[in-house]
Amino acid sequence: MQEKEQNSFSSGPLISFKYLAISITLSLLSMAVVIYLTYTPGILEHLKPKRLPGLILAIFVTLLKIYFSAEKIRFLADKAINRMASIRIALSWDFASAVTPSTIGGAPVATFAMTREGIKFGKSSAIILYGVLLDQFWYALAVPILLISGIYFEVIPDEIGLAGNITMFLIYAGLIMYGALLTYGLLINPASLKEILKKIFGWRFLSKFSEKVNSEANNLENYSIQLRNKPISFVLKAYFLTTMTWLCKIALPVIVVLSLLPGDEILLVLRSLSMNLAFLVIPTPGGSGGVEGLFAIFLGPLITRTAFIGLAVFLWRIITYYISIGLGIIAMLWYVNQTVIEKLDDNSE
């Protein structure tokens, strides 16, 4: 009975086909614009075959990113789920993040996927929050690195101008502040999260969920306390898995560019790190339409053949975005099939 309650609470149209269509359309249009502005006839003749195996490496790094994401989820769940289940959750999370606005993100779908794998809603919510907190800890390390590196390298391209520099500073400051608030709510005073949930679901149009949410809010608080009492070794391993996931994200644009032509490796890495932080505030579904432009702005000046900029954007999005969508659809279909099977079993009874 408890499992059915969780499923009913978590069910619903978690993925909007409207967002999926908008995300893919914006991605295709923005890539077309970049390619149109940078393309020159005969550009493919300048490709060096000895560099192209780097694209295979990029695909491997994409799969490695999925592996580390899944391992982090499984580790935070105290290995209550098997490795295949954690991979399905990670793929669903990536898919949702790729097709929903950044203000929504993939957390609701990840929570749904965890409940389908047998993790209670309260615990899955705490795992999501703790995972986000670990990301914030990573940003807290990345921001000083970028600020210090900015003294010696042109980390933020001149092309973005004063407004762009101010925006990046606000992004840095916002990430630090959000991390501090999340740390307080999850690790210092988890009861505050429970009170916020109770107030939200105390509203009339959400009151029908209040009893279930109040129960799960207690689970959230209890698991938050458990996380707070974890040994330092637990935190360090979780942080390591988070770091590896982000290093894979940062490496992918660099590998794609270097698969086409030589470049300044250090500056490429720093620009990729700064660019990935800027991705976090793009409001469109999956950041489509914005991330392609940011790639051209941040990494384009480091690509000596201008005609390769559009090609680099195209290859990077195919390897990261479209692979995530394809694998995510497979994972989501697995959950849909399981739901259909359960309903058929219920009806047969």
- Please give the model's pTM, rounded to 2 decimal places: 0.81
User: Residue 14 and residue 100: Cα distance in Å, rounded?
Assistant: 10
At position 197, the amino acid (one-letter code) is: L
Q: Which structure tokens are listed for 90?
A: 């990670």
User: Residue 300 and residue 297: Cα distance in Å, rounded?
Assistant: 6
Helices (H), 117-231: 121-152, 161-183, 190-200, 210-228
At position 155, the amino acid (one-letter code) is: V
Other C-beta atoms closer than 10 Å to the C-beta of 113 total 29
| Residue-level length of the chain | 349
User: Residue 244 and residue 265: Cα distance in Å, rounded?
Assistant: 19
User: Residue 249 and residue 62: Cα distance in Å, rounded?
Assistant: 8
pLDDT values of the chain reduced to their tens digit, one per residue, 349 residues: 344 434 433 434 456 677 788 888 999 999 999 988 888 877 777 677 777 888 999 999 999 999 999 999 999 998 999 999 999 999 999 988 888 776 566 778 888 889 888 888 778 877 887 888 788 888 888 888 888 888 888 888 877 767 777 877 787 787 777 777 767 766 677 677 667 666 666 666 555 556 655 655 666 666 677 777 778 898 899 999 999 999 999 999 999 999 988 889 999 999 999 999 888 888 888 788 889 999 999 999 998 888 889 999 999 999 999 998 999 889 888 888 877 666 665 666 6
User: Residue 240 and residue 279: Cα distance in Å, rounded?
Assistant: 22
CA distances from 247 to 55, 175, 190, 251 (A): 17, 18, 30, 6
Query: What pLDDT shows up at residue 211?
Result: 62
At position 306, the amino acid (one-letter code) is: T
At position 28, the amino acid (one-letter code) is: L
Query: What does the DSSP 8-state code read for residue 187?
Result: I
Are 296 and 313 contacting, i.e. CB atoms less than 8 angstroms apart?
yes
Q: What are the backbone dihedrals phi and psi of residue 299, each rounded to the nearest 5 degrees, phi first?
A: -100, -20
Selection from 339, 271, 291 nearest residue 97 by Cα: 291
Query: What pLDDT shows up at residue 56?
Result: 93
Q: How far apart are the two ends of the chain, measured CA to CA in Å? A: 14
Residue with tokens 């409940």: 115
Q: Which structure tokens are listed for 207?
A: 């009151």
Per-position DSSP letters for 67-135, written without gaps between them = HHHHHHHHHHTTT-S-HHHHHHHHHHHHHHHHHS-TTT-SHHHHHHHHHHTT--HHHHHHHHHHHHHHH
Q: Which structure tokens are listed for 109?
A: 């779908």
Domain boundaries, the chain: 16-348
Q: Which structure tokens are listed for 280?
A: 């976090």
Residue with tokens 């996927």: 113
